[in-house]
Amino acid sequence: MVDKPMSIHRTRFPFSITKLLFWSLILLSFIVLFFLGSPPSSASPSHRRRSLRGGDWETSVRESAKSKSLRVLVTGAAGFVGTHVSIALKRRGDGVVGIDNFNRYYEASLKRARSNLLAQHKIFVVEGDINDGSLLKSLFKLGKFTHVMHLAAQAGVRYAMKNPKSYVHSNIAGLVSVLEACKNANPQPAVVWASSSSVYGLNSKVPFSEKDRTDRPASLYAASKKAGEEIAHTYNHIYGLSITGLRFFTVYGPWGRPDMAYFFFTKDILKGKQISVFEGPNGRSVARDFTYIDDIVKGCLGALDTANRSTGSGPAQLRLYNLGNTSPVAVSKLVRILEKLLKVNANKKLLPMPPNGDVFFTHADISLAKKELGYNPTIDLETGLRKFLDWYMDYYSSSSSLPKRAWLPTLNTWPKGREMRQISID
C-alpha cells in the first residue's frame, strides 16, 4: 500500500518527530534494561557513604593493610578464589584489604560465611562495587597498596545467555575502573588479575599454550575475558602499569562456587535428584583440567611475588600465564569419583551438550608458569574432591541446609566397608 502524501498544511517534519520519539523510547528502554540487567548488589550507595564518613572504617582499612611486606587490595574477596588468596596472604604476614559487592549470582549466605571467615583472620572487607570510582580512590589513599589482586568478575559461561549485560558491567567496565584507580594511585601498584581458560574458545590444539590464538571465543564470558586481556595491554602500554594475567582452569575445592558441576552434582546426588552429564558428538567425553584451589593460590602468590613495580610511564612488565593441573579428566569420571567418595549411586542422564557456550575440553600447558612462577600443582582430582566433600558435609550439616535423610558423615570418619546405596528421590 502506498502512503498518502502529507498535507501541505501540516508541520514540516511530522514523520521525523515520530521517528525521533520512537527511537528515544527504544534508547530509554535499553538504558533501563541495562541497569535492571546488572548483577544485583546488597551494598547500597548510602551504606558506602556512611562507611566513608566513619573514622572506624578508615581505621579498619589502615589496620588491615598494615604490613612491612606486601599491601594487597583483593577485589572479589568474598568470592571462592578471593577468600583463599586473602587468607594465604594474611597468614604469611602481608597486609590485605578486600572489596566485594556480595551480588546474588549464587547464594549470598555462602559469601557472607566466607566474609566471616576472613574477619576471623583479621581481614577487613569493604562492601562496595568496583565500578564505584570514588570508593576505590578512598581505598587506595588509605591502604597505600603495593599490589592489587583483581578477582572480582561475573563468572559462569551459561549465565551469559540470561544476563549478558552483567558481564560488560563487571568484567569490562569493572576492570577499567580498577585499572583507572591503579593508574591514578600513588604509589602505583602492580596488578595481578584473573583471566580465564575460556579465552581459548574453539582452539583445537592441545595442550593450550599462552602462544595459541584466542580470537575465537565460544561464549560471552570468554569474550569479556579476552577483552580484559586487550584492555590490560593498553593500560600497560600507555600508563606503565605492571600487569600479570592468570588464565585459571576449572578451579574447585572447599568454599567453592555452587554453580560449578562438582558442587551441584554433589548436592543433587545427595538429594537423589537426577544429574545431567553432557557428551560431545558421537559420545565424545567432555573433559576439564580440574585444578585444586590450593594449587591456584600458590600460582597467585607466585605471580604477586615476582611482579615488578609499575613505572608510571614507559616500558613495564606485562605477563600472561596458564594456571591448570595439566591432567584433563572426563566429567563422567568426575561423577564416578563422587559416587565412590559419597558411596552413593548417581541417577545419571546422558545428554548432548547444548549450544550454551561451553567447550568440549580444556588442557593447560603450564610450562611457562613452572619456569617463571615456580608453579607446580600437586593435588589430583580424587584427593581434591575428598577435601571438598569434607568441607561440604561440615558446612551444610552445621547450617542445616543438607537434607537430613541424605546427611553423610565427614569422609575422614567414613565407616570402612560400607556398600554404595541409592538415595530415594525427594
Residues recognised as catalytic: 221
Q: Report the alpha-carbon distance of residue 85 to residue 89 in Å, rounded.
A: 6
Closest among 182, 197, 208, 224 to 316, alpha carbons compared = 182
The separation between the first and the last C-alpha atoms of the chain, rounded to the nearest angstrom, is 61
* Pair 130, 152: CB distance under 8 Å: yes
How would DSSP label each residue in 273-337?
Answer: -EEEEEE-GGGPBPEE--EEHHHHHHHHHHHHHTPPPP-SSS---EEEEEE--S--EEHHHHHHH
* Cα separation values, 64 from 54, 101, 131, 138, 403, Å: 16, 18, 22, 15, 38
Q: Which three cell numbers stand for residue 92?
A: 604469611
CB 375 within 8 A of CB 368: no
Of 157, 388, 150, 168, whose CA–CA distance to 288 is shortest? Answer: 157
Q: Which residue has the cell 570418619?
A: 413
Closest-CA residue to 303 (of 156, 151, 183) = 151
C-alpha distances in Å from residue 22, one per residue of 17, 28, 33, 137, 227: 9, 10, 17, 40, 33
* Kind of pairing between the strands at 190-194 and 329-330: unpaired
